[in-house]
Amino acid sequence: GAAMAAALREVEIDPEGTFKYILVRLQRPGGEERRDIVRGTAAAEFHNHIFEKVNPEMEKLGYECKCLGGGKIDHNSKDKKIRVFGLSTGYGKADHSVTVEILKKVYTDYEITWSDDKK
């Protein structure tokens, strides 16, 4: 249904600003089906706040969640640029190159870059 489609969107990030993000792997228990999603919001003070919101949503849909790491996203919608950088203290650094590939599927007309810089 629509709720499931929305929950499983590959990318859900704030439309503007700099904020924390996590890369999450969804997997059907015992199944082959798996997908990686990007979630980021300025509302989250810590990376685990994002995971704590995503995890129950996905469990309801029958997926197991694993956080693959985190970082920060700088989203400039005016210039159509996204920069992925930084890391999560709790989860470690996500593979930003994977995050960028996922973002590119959604933000097709953006310039999207990543680095291991902290800021």
Q: Where residue 85 sits, what CATH number does that domain have?
A: 3.50.20.20
**pLDDT less than 70: residues of the chain:** 1, 3
The tokens for 40 are 């980021």
Chain-centroid distance of CA 108 in Å reads 16
Q: Which residue range forms the structural domain that includes residue 85?
A: 2-115
- Measured between alpha carbons, how far is 49 from 9 in angstroms, rounded to an integer? 19
Which positions are annotated as active-site residues?
Answer: 47
pLDDT, position 108? 97
Nearest to 77 by CA among 53, 107, 106, 51: 107
Q: Domain total for the chain? A: 1
pLDDT, position 7? 73
pLDDT, position 119? 87
pLDDT, position 33? 83
pLDDT, position 1? 65
**DSSP codes, 6-46:** HHT-SEEE-SSEEEEEEEEEEE-TTSS-EEEEEEEETT-SS
**DSSP β-ladder status, 11-13 and 34-41:** parallel
Residue range 64-86, pLDDT digits in tens: 999 999 999 999 999 999 999 99
> Are 3 and 32 a contacting pair, CB within 8 Å?
no
Q: Is 20 annotated as a binding residue?
A: yes
